Structure 1
Amino acid sequence: MDSQIDFARVRSYLLNLQQQITASFEQLDAPRFIHDPWQRAPSEHLRGDGVSCIIEPGGLLESGGVNFSHVSGDTLPSSATSARPQLAGCSFEALGISLVLHPHNPYCPTVHMNVRLLAAMPAGAHTAPVFWFGGGMDLTPYYGFAEDARHFHRICRDAVAPFGADLYPRFKQACDEYFFLKHRNEPRGIGGIFYDDFSELGFEQGFKLMQSVGDAFTKAYLPIIQARRHLPFGPNEKAFQAYRRGRYVEFNLVCDRGTLFGLQSGGRTESILMSLPPVAHWRYNWKPEPDSPEAQLYSDFLIARDWL
């Protein structure tokens, strides 16, 4: 298995992917993303830079971000060593793209995608870095459409199929298990694929997997929002969207390891928390009316199922 890590090549790919994704949305909508390059002030313990591409408000997209970051530090954050205690105290380098998009129309689902590479450098001149890839994408509808869920999962399956027939079932199950609000006993959405601590293919094939997942994002998501963006809606639909967005906030602040890693590693807070929606509501002990479209989200979509 190859162990040579080409950070420069990964960085170049990720910056190009960021540009391609933002351009694809700008072609659908008039407002442009705000490009906010940043660089950490010099520090002996942490270094890094990135570009946050933010849209708020944006017509089709009520808010969202497509963010690139590349950081390194003297000590790997504890959120990354819980499963690898032997790496505690190692220096590290991490880079990736993370995006969350919240459409204005409640019939368009929120989407999340992330691809990343992280490497830890154990002490010792002849000790090879320990690296792993992570990423995936998942869909969070407010009003479900079975054909959208099937399309999204089909693109996810096709993106990882060249790297092993077992990967989609593994990554789908991991996604269902990870994007789950245990304190609510419910999924965040209809899932997709999720993988972490992934190094079994070596660097070159792992990098190709990253590219395949990243390149599949617009194929998975754009057809869905193009089909739903003009559906009529009213205040009831917006209120339900805001209520369900509350679940999104709960997950990202209570459960998400990526949020914790970003904050623990001294990442840029504004970029990390751009995943939160602009408006979210909570209602005490609320349930949708039986047989309503809102109730159908719970009965038909927020359940573990094989969409293919």
Structure 2
Amino acid sequence: MTEEMQEEKARASAWFRELRDRIVEAFEGLEDRQTEGPFADQPPGRFEVTETTRAGEDAEDAGGGLMSVMRGGRVFEKVGVNVSTVYGRLGERAQAAMMARKDMPGMHDDPRFWASGISLVAHMQNPHTPAVHMNTRMFWTPHGWWFGGGSDLNPCIEYDDDTAHFHYVQKQHCDRHDETFYSRFKAWADEYFFVPHRGRARGVGGIFLDDHNTGDWEADFAFIQDVGRAFLPAFLPVTEKRMGTPWDAQEKDIQLIHRGLYAEYNLVYDRGTKFGLETGHDANAVLMSLPPMAKWI
């Protein structure tokens, strides 16, 4: 395997774009199938697609991607599905963050990097349908490479059977690779998606992993693909089951307050938000995760 890993990078970037296309098609299909409820008489929602670019500190900084956002749909109040591939040289703050997470003593001497991934956040019209987050990514520097990501469910009104289904599908896909993966990465998600200043989790969890490098790129890439493949069968059945449930003003209020918790987490703790802003990626794409409306008490 060459230092630059050009073929591997290209394959990873192409996979994240393919996964993006599958999800966009599936979500627009949900919009078409929602024929009841207060938004059923409006046209089904469709994604608006915008190209994004990276404006870094160095002349070699480049790359970008696609920001796909649907607003005001029948099912989705706001959902974004972004893909990007960016590269160049890490600035000082980003270098410090990377060296704090991995043993990379050479970052100051050679701060080149390459990163590609998909990031998704969905906020729903119906308070009974859960919000959801998913991302998978590959990161490379001359000093190492790894994969990361996962998905987690964020209902404001919890249903035990929805939680069980979401986790069951995640476990199925993890078990194809290593029967220890699900328990390890579920525990990591429980820790990572905890909101310390509120003393609670932001949702009902899922799986989360970072710095994943077993030394076998092909095996690790196959696994991160299955993390992505698990998303639709984990999320769609839950949404289809709940999106026709009637709701009232009190339940909508519960949803808006829960969204405030989600926004607090993403702005204060989320690694992806911090890294995206520090490396000069399009701010609108980085902050796509924020809900269209939220409430604090």
Match of 1:191 in 2: 205
In the TM superposition, what whole-angstrom CA distance separates every residue of 1:179-207 from its partner, at most 9, and x where no partner exists? 00011110011100000000015211111
Cα RMSD between the aligned structures? 1.7
Secondary structure at the aligned position of 2:139 is classed as: strand
Verify the 8 A CA contact 1:39 1:49 in the aligned structure 2: yes
Match of 1:80 in 2: 98
Decide whether aligned partners of structure 1 residues 205 and 232 sit closer, same or farther in structure 2, where only a CA change above 3 A counts.
Answer: same
Could you tell me how far 1:279 is from its partner in structure 2? 0.6
* Residue pairs, 1:31-110, within 5 angstroms: 31-40=45-54, 44-75=59-90, 77=94, 78-84=96-102, 85-89=104-108, 90-110=111-131
State how many pairs are aligned: 276
Task: Say whether residues 1:233 and 2:235 are aligned partners.
Answer: no
Which of 10, 14, 17 lines up with 2:16 in the alignment?
14
Matching residue's letter, 2:123? H
In the TM superposition, what whole-angstrom CA distance separates every residue of 1:119-163 from its partner, at most 9, and x where no partner exists? 1124xxxxxxx1000010000111111110000000111111121
- TM-score scaled by structure 2? 0.89
Match of 1:288 in 2: none
Q: Which runs of 5+ in 2 are unaligned?
A: 32-43
Q: In the aligned structure 2, how far is the partner of 1:98 from the partner of 1:10? A: 14
Match of 2:279 in 1: 265
Task: Say whether residues 1:143 and 2:157 are aligned partners.
Answer: yes
Verify the 8 A CA contact 1:79 1:260 in the aligned structure 2: no
Q: In the aligned structure 2, how far is the partner of 1:232 from the partner of 1:19? A: 31
Matching residue's letter, 1:236? Q
Q: What is the aligned-residue identity percentage?
A: 39
- Which aligned runs of 4 or more in structure 1 are off by greater than 6 angstroms? none
Q: Which runs of 5+ in 1 are unaligned?
A: 123-129, 284-308
Secondary structure at the aligned position of 1:86 is classed as: coil
Matching residue's letter, 1:218? L
Match of 1:287 in 2: none
Match of 1:223 in 2: 237
Verify the 8 A CA contact 2:122 2:131 in the aligned structure 1: yes
Secondary structure at the aligned position of 1:101 is classed as: strand
Matching residue's letter, 1:86? P
- TM-score scaled by structure 1? 0.86
In the TM superposition, what whole-angstrom CA distance separates every residue of 1:220-260 from its partner, at most 9, and x where no partner exists? 00000100001010111111100010000000000101100
In the TM superposition, what whole-angstrom CA distance separates every residue of 1:76-122 from its partner, at most 9, and x where no partner exists? 61333322252533210000000000011000111000000001124
Verify the 8 A CA contact 2:55 2:282 in the aligned structure 1: no
